Amino acid sequence: MFEAERIEFTVRLSELLRLRLNLPELVLEKPKMALERQSAERKNWDFATNPASQALEAPAPENRFEFPVIGQMRINSGIRHYIDTPKKLDVTMDISTAQGEADKQENIVIKSEGTYQGQKFLMNATGASVME
């Protein structure tokens, strides 16, 4: 499941005319993503094995590397919830990009909490942009 309060993007028209998707900027405002793995065979993000997904039976691209090019991506107040029942993992992550004062470089900031095999955990991380 994915939802967002707002999604903003710019498209490079010259690339679109060549049937290539190039997004110089992508902004996700309050995105929420919920992923769940009930077993090795059942995952809520695996639409190919979902019997209700007959509308998604369009032919897959031959080259799986045909993804959009994204220049800069900003995430404001993102939430990701992941449940992995076989591994007894349940984690909620708050994800945002933040701009440093000194170098004006955007970093990704992740604050997580959850349980793993019945044990509570907290994890906070800050790192360089994943888009560079």
Using alpha carbons only, how large is the chain's radius of gyration in Å? 18
pLDDT of residue 43: 86
Q: For residue 55, what pLDDT is reported?
A: 52
**pLDDT one-digit tens code per residue, 44-72:** 877 665 555 555 555 555 665 567 888 88
In tens, the pLDDT along 77-109 reads 999 999 999 999 999 999 998 876 666 678 889
Q: Quote the CA–CA distance of 130 and 118 in Å, as a whole number.
A: 31
Whether residue 121 is predicted with pLDDT greater than 70 in this model: the reply is yes
Global model pTM greater than 0.85: no
Q: How far apart are the first and last CA of the chain?
A: 27
Alpha-carbon distance of 82 to 60, in angstroms, equals: 26
Count CA atoms closer than 13 A to 36's CA, side-chain side. 6
pLDDT at 37: 92
pLDDT of residue 26: 92
The span from the CA of 22 to the CA of 79, in Å, is 25
